[in-house]
Structure 1
Amino acid sequence: MDWVERAAKLRQWTGNGIRAPHKPLLLLYALGRFQEDADGELRYSAVEEDLKRLLTEYGPANRTTPAYPFHHLVSDGVWEVRTDRGPGSPGSGVLELRATGATGRLAPELRAALRREPSLLGRIAGVLLDQHFPPSLHGELREAVGLEQVPVESEPLPAGRRQRDRRMREMVLTAYEYQCAFCGYDGRIGAVPVGLEAAHVRWWAFDGPDDIDNGLCLCALHHKLFDKGALGVGEGHRILVSQRFVGRSPAAREHVTALAGRPLIGPQPGTNPVAERHRSWHTEQVFHGTPRPASGT
């Protein structure tokens, strides 16, 4: 059985680019806990808060209770649930899972495969990260689920799967004249730009193209905040800052909250700005909360 392929094909709602990372997050969390205790069970009432935090931080704005993936991941053949009554999940209700002492863990066949082939864990984690999250979030997500010490391997793309365009970064940085579209940062060491990155507005994992009108040149700080949903791009290509972002220091105010309502810097004339369809996807699927009013209002 190809466990990597099974992880890559988790059943979830993905119509129209809608993000549904609930099952992948639970499976990543379970892999991290397997690493700590290969035979341990995860009692729902004990891990509910951990799973809520993961969904809040890495899921879309329309949140789902962690009871949903805890119950439904069973159907993918990688997870099992037991209660005080015996094998089987009591349902996807929070109260049912709590009241019956529901516990979950990786399916027996998967646990056996992970013991036989330790590198399998990193390969499964790699495909889950690649398919559901942008690279800027991989490191901190691995840490959040306890996989930071595990080599995470990327699987070779099967024939027919689209390849990333390696020219994307250079095209986007050139279009924005090597400065952050949010703050104008343009640092270099000698002739080499440093701390500038090409951000996908619509994530590549969700069919975001490697095109200039789906890219922004951002400094490392603003790229991370953009992918976390603290920053966005609104009507008129003005910067959105989420009210959920909290920063009391002068640096946080200057570098983040003061950006609210400012127009993007760039791209240079003759270059396509961010397309509305990509901007809308990011606003609906990534940006969290309500935008702050424009700075100074």
Structure 2
Amino acid sequence: MNWLDRIAALRQWARNGTRAPHKPLLLLYALARFQEDADGGLRYTAVEQDLQSLLAEYGPPHKTTPAYPFHHLVSDGVWEVRTDRGDGSPGSGVRELRQTGATGRLAPELRAALRREPDLLGRIARLLLDLHFPPSLHGELCEAVGLELEPAESGRLVPARRQRDPRMRELVLTAYEYRCAFCGYDGRIGTVPVGLEAAHVRWWAFGGPDDIDNGLCLCSLHHKLFDKGVLGVGDDHRVLVSRRFVGHSAAARQHVTALAGRPLTGPQPGTRRIAAAHRDWHTRQVFRGEPRPAAAPAGG
């Protein structure tokens, strides 16, 4: 049985590029717990808060529940649920999972494969990360679930039917003249840019192309905040800042809240700006809450 193919084929609710990372998040969490205790189970009432926190941090902007993947992942053949009544999930309702003592864990065949092949756990984890989350979030997501991974093997784990374009970074940074589109940062060491990255507006994992009109040159800080839904891009190509973001320090105001309403820096004339379809996807699927009003001019 090819477990990577099975993981890549997880059935998820999807419509118009809607993000539904519920099952991948539960699997990453379960893999981390497997590292700690290969025979242990995850009682729903004991892990519900952890899973809810993961969904709030890395899931879609709208409210959701960990009961959904806890029940529905069984149908993918990688997960099992038992209750005080015996084998089988009682359903996807929170009350049913709580009242029946529902306990989930990786399917027996998958647990056996993980024991036989020591590197399989890392390969599955990296596949889940590559297919469902942008690279800027991989490290902190592993830390959030408690997953310990060895250095990655050579080669990508994304299905070969779609490969990333290695030229995108240079094309996007050139289009924005090596300046962060949000704050204008343009640091270098000698002639080498430092802390500048090519961000996908519509995530590559969700069909976002490696095209200039789906890219932004961003500094490392603003790339992370963009992928976390703190920052966005409005229809008028001005910076959106989420009302949900809270920062009282002068640094938070200067580097985040003061960006509200600021026009993007770049791209240079003759270069395609961000396509409306990609901006719309990011606003619906990543940006959190409502945008703040434009920041008042300094001294105004």
Aligned counterparts of 2:169 and 2:114: Cα–Cα separation in 1: 36
Aligned counterparts of 1:169 and 1:149: Cα–Cα separation in 2: 26
8 Å Cα contact 2:229/2:288 also seen in 1: yes
Alignment length, in residue pairs? 296
Aligned counterparts of 2:44 and 2:219: Cα–Cα separation in 1: 39
Look up the equivalent residue of 2:209 and give its one-letter code: P
8 Å Cα contact 1:227/1:286 also seen in 2: yes
Look up the equivalent residue of 1:295 and give its one-letter code: A
The Cα offsets for residues 87-135 of structure 1, whole Å up to 9 and x where unpaired, read as 1100000011001111100001100100010100000001100000010
Please state how far the C-alpha of 1:171 moved relative to its aligned partner.
0.7
The Cα offsets for residues 199-224 of structure 1, whole Å up to 9 and x where unpaired, read as 00001111111111100000000000
Aligned counterparts of 2:38 and 2:151: Cα–Cα separation in 1: 18
Which residue is equivalent to 1:76?
Answer: 76
Is 1:293–2:297 an aligned residue pair?
no
Please state how far the C-alpha of 1:245 moved relative to its aligned partner.
1.2
Please state how far the C-alpha of 1:150 moved relative to its aligned partner.
4.0
Which residue is equivalent to 1:124?
Answer: 124
Please state how far the C-alpha of 1:148 moved relative to its aligned partner.
3.3
8 Å Cα contact 1:125/1:152 also seen in 2: no
Please state how far the C-alpha of 1:198 moved relative to its aligned partner.
0.4
Q: Structure 2 matches for 1:1-297, cutoff 5 A? A: 1-153=1-153, 155-159=156-160, 161-296=161-296
8 Å Cα contact 1:180/1:265 also seen in 2: yes
Look up the equivalent residue of 2:216 and give its one-letter code: L
User: Which shifted more, 7-16 or 193-202?
Assistant: 7-16
Q: Secondary structure at the match of 2:217?
A: strand
Aligned counterparts of 1:88 and 1:211: Cα–Cα separation in 2: 46
Please state how far the C-alpha of 1:296 moved relative to its aligned partner.
2.0
Q: TM-score, normalised by structure 1?
A: 0.97
8 Å Cα contact 2:127/2:157 also seen in 1: no
Q: Secondary structure at the match of 1:15?
A: coil
The Cα offsets for residues 173-209 of structure 1, whole Å up to 9 and x where unpaired, read as 1111110000000000000010000000001111111
Q: Secondary structure at the match of 2:199?
A: strand
Aligned counterparts of 1:233 and 1:92: Cα–Cα separation in 2: 36
Label 1:243 to 1:158 Cα distance change in 2 as closer, same or farther (>3 A): closer
User: Which shifted more, 13-22 or 33-42?
Assistant: 13-22
| Structure 2: stretches of 5+ with no match in the other structure | none
The Cα offsets for residues 131-172 of structure 1, whole Å up to 9 and x where unpaired, read as 00010100111111111344455655555x121111101111
8 Å Cα contact 1:139/1:148 also seen in 2: no
Look up the equivalent residue of 1:46 and give its one-letter code: A
Q: Secondary structure at the match of 1:198?
A: strand
8 Å Cα contact 1:90/1:100 also seen in 2: yes
Q: Secondary structure at the match of 1:213?
A: helix
8 Å Cα contact 1:230/1:287 also seen in 2: yes
Look up the equivalent residue of 2:83 and give its one-letter code: T
Please state how far the C-alpha of 1:62 moved relative to its aligned partner.
1.9
Query: Alignment RMSD, CA only?
Result: 1.3
Aligned counterparts of 1:35 and 1:152: Cα–Cα separation in 2: 17
8 Å Cα contact 1:80/1:107 also seen in 2: yes
| Structure 1: stretches of 5+ with no match in the other structure | none
8 Å Cα contact 1:123/1:155 also seen in 2: no
Aligned counterparts of 1:152 and 1:59: Cα–Cα separation in 2: 25
Q: Secondary structure at the match of 1:217?
A: strand
Aligned counterparts of 1:70 and 1:289: Cα–Cα separation in 2: 26
User: Which shifted more, 139-148 or 32-41?
Assistant: 139-148
Aligned counterparts of 2:10 and 2:95: Cα–Cα separation in 1: 25
